[in-house]
Amino acid sequence: MTTKQQAQARDEGAGRAAVVTGGSRGIGRAVSLKLAQDGLAVVVNYAGDTAAAEETVAAIRDSGGRAVGVRADVADERAVAALFDRAEEEFGGVDVVVNSAGRLALSPIADLDLDVLDAVHRTNIRGTFVVAQQAARRLRAGGSFVGFSTSVVGTRFPAYGAYAASKGAVEAMTLILARELRGRDITVNTVAPGPTATDMFLDGKTPEMIDQLAKTPPLERLGTPEDIANVVAFLTGPEGHWINGQILRANGGMV
């Protein structure tokens, strides 16, 4: 992006504010930085890594942006309500909500500890629902909600049963929420990344597994957090406002 384009993007985003859950690391961090680059004030939500959140907030402020970090468990409705309260207190309202907080567990269905299943679904299903509730109540006209799924809902790789099931629920909510917000000029979409080079994705995988997954898309590489952040910025910006109720598989050409 040229300097002129960056200035134009900042002008378009001026006066707007975003809440990004899971905004301190991985894709969430990239989304926070990208939206701030586009001129939005950003509430960087995090679950427990205060240092990572502070680093993300500092990076935004050092670049001339506006940001605050707010700790909250996305599955806790009181904490999420307080998160949105803080956004309104700091920046006057909320125009963009990006729910990138998520939990991953890999295991064959037959072997998965059901306590792990409950933890995954608490964050990925209940957490999405709780954040979507607040977004539906508080987003200003012209706003956008973006949830996160996974391309594994389509590829159906073994060991992803619990994770894919939780993200299938997110996809089911998407068009329903878009229709429930009829007449308010608010879009609701879900981004479903393919293999993306984040700590969560890379953790526990051998170099051979990573190389194999990188070669799966026709573009023959892993996605980057910045690839996904650019998609989110498009969906939440004026150019993407006609896209509504959709699942966008940002995966380089996988199923």
Determine contact, residues 116/164, Cβ cutoff 8 Å.
no
pLDDT of residue 14: 66
Measured distance CA(166)–CA(157) in Å, rounded = 14
**Amino acid letter, residue 81:** A
Residue 79 inside a domain? The answer is: yes
Would 205 be classed as within a structural domain?
A: yes
Residue 141 in contact with residue 186, Cβ under 8 Å? yes
> Over the stretch 43-65, which tens digit does the pLDDT of each residue have?
999 999 999 999 999 999 999 99
Per-residue pLDDT tens digits for 201-243 = 888 789 998 998 899 999 999 999 999 999 999 999 999 999 9
Residue 206 lies in a domain: yes
Q: Is residue 147 part of a domain?
A: yes
> Domain holding 88: CATH number?
3.40.50.720
**Which residues of the chain have a pLDDT value below 50?**
1, 5, 7, 9
Q: Which residues are catalytic?
A: 163
Please report which helix (H) or strand (E) contains residue 105, including its range: none
